[in-house]
Amino acid sequence: FNQELFSLMEMKPPISRAKMILITKAAIKAIKLYKHVVQIVEKFIKKCKPEYKVPGLYVIDSIVRQSRHQFGTDKDVFGPRFCKNITATFQYLYLCPSEDKSKIVRVLNLWQKNGVFKIEIIQPLLDMAAGASSATSVTEDATNNEGSPQPTTIPSEPPQVGANSVPAVPQLPSSDAFAAVAQLFQTTQGQQLQQILQTFQQPPKPQSPVIDNNVMAQVQAITAQLQTTTTQPSEQKHDFQIPEQKTSFDKLLDRFDYDDEPE
> pLDDT tens digit string along 80-121?
999 999 999 999 999 999 999 999 999 999 999 999 999 999
pLDDT in tens, 186-210: 666 666 666 766 665 555 554 444 4
Give the chain as a 3 state SS string: CHHHHHHHHHCCCCCCHHHHHHHHHHHHHCHHHHHHHHHHHHHHHHHCCHHHHHHHHHHHHHHHHHHHHHHCCCCCCHHHHHHHCHHHHHHHHCCCCHHHHHHHHHHHHHHHHHCCCCHHHHHHHHHHHHHHHHHHHHHHHHHHCCCCCCCCCCCCCCCCCCHHHCCCCCCCCCHHHHHHHHHHHHCHHHHHHHHHHHHHHCCCCCCCCCCCHHHHHHHHHHHHHHHHHHCCCHHHHHHCCHHHHHHHHHHHHHCCCCCCCCC
Q: Summarize the confidence of residues 36-50 as an average pLDDT.
A: 96
Higher pLDDT, 222 or 21: 21
pTM for the model: 0.52
Higher pLDDT, residue 262 or 224: 224
Residue 149 has a pLDDT of 47
Looking at per-residue pLDDT, the higher value among 204 and 10 belongs to 10
What average pLDDT does range 172-196 have in this prediction?
60
Give 131-155 pLDDT, tens digit per residue.
Answer: 765 544 444 444 444 444 454 444 4
Write down the pLDDT at residue 138: 42
What domains appear along the chain, each with residue ranges and CATH number?
A: 1-130 (1.25.40.90)
- 44-57 confidence digits (pLDDT tens): 999 999 999 999 99
